[in-house]
C-alpha cells in the first residue's frame, strides 16, 4: 500500500500526516511518498501532473491512497484499508466527498461547476483524498491531463476531476457515507463533535463507522483535532496549523481566476467591450444630467 501526498515544503499538518502513517502502520509493509518536495508550487493542475508522473513508476497493481499534505491525518490501518478496497472497489478509483459541507448550492456551482449525478444522487467529490490501483489512477490522471490545460496556474484539480466524473459517473465510486474518508471542513456546520469521536491512540469514529482518513478541509483549525488524536504539539507546531484569516479570500480568488480561465477568449473580449461601452454610456449620461452653472454677475460701482 502506498500513501502519496504532495508538499513542496514543511508546514500545516504535514508533520502529523507522516507521524500518523508511522504510528498506525507497519512501515515495512506500506510506503509513504511525498511528491513535489523542494520544487516550486505551480498550481493544482501541476499537482495532478506530478502525481501522474510519480504513480507511473509504481507497480500497476499497487493500491495507492492520494491525500492532501497540509490538512489530512490518517486514522486507521492502511492494511485494513487496502483489504477493504480490494474486496469492494473492483479496481475503480474511490473518491472522498464533501457530504457534510454547508456551502450553498450556488457556491458549489460557482466554485466547482455542476456536481456529479449518479443514481439520482448529487455528489460533490473532494480531491483531498482518493484511492485506486496505480494503473487506474494513471489512466484517470492521463484523461484529465490530456484534455485540459493543467499547466495553467489557475487550473483546479477538484474542478477537473469533478468534470471527468460527470462525463462517466459509473466509472468511479464515491464515499458518500464517510466509511473510508471523513471530510470535516470549516463549513461542516451539521457535523458536530457528538458525531465525531477522536481517540488518543490516533483513531477516530464517525457515528458507527471508523474512517481511515480525516480531512480537516478549508483551513479548519487543526490544533484541537491533532491533540484529540493524542499527538504532542509545540508552540511552533500550533502556530503552523492555525487557520489563515485570509484563507477564504485566497480560496475564492483562486476559483474566480480558474473560472475566468475556462471562458473562451472571444467571450472575454466581448465582456471587456461591453464593460467599456457601459462605462462610456454612464459617463455621457452623467455629463448630460449635470446641472448648468450659474453665470457670473459683474456689478459696476
Q: Does 212 score more than 60 pLDDT?
A: yes
Residue 107 has a pLDDT of 57
Average confidence score pLDDT of the chain? 85
Can you tell me the mean pLDDT for 112-122?
82
pLDDT at 154 (0 to 100): 83
Measured CA to CA, the distance from residue 168 to residue 68 in angstroms comes to: 24
User: Which residue segments constitute the domains of the chain, with CATH numbers given?
Assistant: 2-243 (3.90.550)
Is the predicted pLDDT of residue 4 greater than 90, yes or no? yes
Residue 15, pLDDT > 90, answer yes
| Closest to 17 (Cα-Cα) out of 78, 63, 103, 108 | 78
Model pLDDT, residue 278: 86
Arithmetic mean of pLDDT, 190-205:
82
Between 157-167 and 134-147, two packed helices, what is the crossing angle to 10 degrees? 100
Beta bridge partners of 204: 198
Range list of H helices, the chain = 14-24, 44-55, 78-88, 105-112, 134-147, 157-167, 223-228, 235-240, 247-262, 265-289
Name the pTM for this structure: 0.81
- φ and ψ of 117, to 5 deg: -115, 125
- The confidence score (pLDDT) of residue 272 equals 80
Whether the pLDDT of residue 59 is over 90: the answer is yes
CA angle 215, 74, 163 (to 5 degrees): 45
Q: Take residue 4 and report the three cell numbers written for it.
A: 502519496
Name which residue leads in pLDDT, 243 or 299. Answer: 243
Amino acid at each position: 500500500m502506498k500513501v502519496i501526498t504532495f508538499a513542496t515544503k514543511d508546514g500545516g499538518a504535514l508533520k502529523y500526516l507522516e507521524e500518523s502513517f508511522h504510528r498506525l502502520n507497519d512501515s515495512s509493509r506500506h510506503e509513504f511518498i511525498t511528491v513535489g518536495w523542494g520544487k516550486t508550487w505551480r498550481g493544482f493542475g501541476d499537482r495532478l501532473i506530478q502525481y501522474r508522473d510519480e504513480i507511473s513508476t509504481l507497480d500497476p497493481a499497487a493500491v495507492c491512497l492520494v491525500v492532501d499534505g497540509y490538512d489530512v491525518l490518517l486514522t486507521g490501518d492502511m492494511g485494513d484499508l487496502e483489504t477493504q478496497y480490494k474486496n469492494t472497489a473492483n479496481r475503480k478509483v474511490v473518491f472522498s466527498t464533501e457530504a457534510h459541507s454547508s456551502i450553498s448550492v450556488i457556491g458549489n456551482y460557482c466554485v466547482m461547476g455542476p456536481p456529479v449525478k449518479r443514481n439520482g444522487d448529487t455528489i460533490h467529490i473532494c480531491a483531498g483524498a482518493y484511492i485506486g490501483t496505480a494503473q487506474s489512477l494513471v489512466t484517470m490522471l492521463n484523461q484529465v491531463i490530456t484534455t485540459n490545460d493543467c499547466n495553467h496556474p489557475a487550473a483546479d484539480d477538484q474542478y477537473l476531476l469533478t468534470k471527468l466524473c460527470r462525463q462517466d459517473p459509473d466509472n468511479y465510486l464515491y464515499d458518500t457515507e464517510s466509511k473510508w474518508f471523513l471530510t470535516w471542513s470549516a463549513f461542516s456546520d451539521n457535523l458536530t463533535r457528538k458525531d465525531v469521536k477522536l481517540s488518543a491512540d490516533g483513531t477516530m469514529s464517525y457515528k458507527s463507522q471508523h474512517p481511515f482518513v480525516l480531512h480537516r478541509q478549508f483551513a479548519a483549525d487543526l490544533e484541537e483535532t491533532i491533540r484529540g488524536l493524542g499527538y504532542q504539539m509545540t508552540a511552533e507546531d500550533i502556530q503552523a496549523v492555525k487557520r489563515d484569516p485570509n484563507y477564504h479570500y485566497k480560496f475564492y480568488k483562486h476559483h474566480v481566476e480558474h473560472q475566468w480561465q475556462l471562458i473562451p477568449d472571444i467571450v472575454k473580449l466581448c465582456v471587456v467591450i461591453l464593460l467599456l461601452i457601459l462605462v462610456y454610456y454612464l459617463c455621457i449620461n452623467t455629463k448630460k444630467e449635470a446641472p448648468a452653472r450659474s453665470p457670473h454677475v459683474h456689478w459696476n460701482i
